């Protein structure tokens, strides 16, 4: 006769209660990643997608700027574009005062 000791019973009980490799089992597989996936989707629709849309609109506006346009810079400087270069604009901010600003520093076109 073979008797199971208390340690053997504890081991068998632990094996029986261990999570199985079955993805349909509660708490296993995709269900453990579902909260992270939902958080990522929420961040995408609330933060990432609107920011990308805004950046595309800004890039389109900057590409359309030409000589004579009234602009406002990120620093709050208002002026008129007097020249267009590859990576910057020449902006007149006062009589006989011209500055060069980068394309990225243009905040808005003033109508």
Model's pTM, two decimal places?
0.62
SS3 category, 86: coil
What mean pLDDT value characterizes the chain?
A: 83
Burial 12-27, CB ≥16 within 10 A → b, else e: eeeeeeeeeeeeeeee
- pLDDT score of 29: 74
Asked if residues 98 and 91 have their Cβ atoms less than 8 Å apart, the reply is yes
Average pLDDT over residues 52-73: 95
Report the 10 Å Cβ neighbour count for 9: 10
For residue range 7-57, what is the model confidence (pLDDT) as tens digits?
555 655 555 555 555 555 555 677 888 889 999 999 888 999 999 999 999
Q: Counting every residue, how long is the chain?
A: 111
Of 103 and 32, the one with more pLDDT: 103
Q: Where are the beta strands (DSSP E) in 74-111?
A: 78-84, 88-94, 97-102, 106-110
């Amino acid at each position: 006769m073979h008797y199971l000791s208390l340690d053997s019973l504890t081991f068998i009980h632990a094996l029986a209660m261990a999570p199985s490799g079955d993805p349909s089992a509660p708490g296993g597989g995709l269900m453990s990643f579902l909260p992270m996936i939902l958080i990522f989707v929420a961040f995408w629709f609330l933060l990432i997608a609107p920011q990308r849309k805004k950046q595309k609109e800004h890039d389109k506006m900057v590409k359309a700027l030409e000589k004579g346009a009234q602009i406002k810079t990120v620093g709050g400087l208002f002026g008129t574009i007097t020249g267009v270069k590859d990576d910057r604009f020449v902006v007149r901010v006062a009589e006989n005062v011209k500055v060069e600003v980068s394309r990225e520093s243009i905040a808005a076109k003033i109508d």
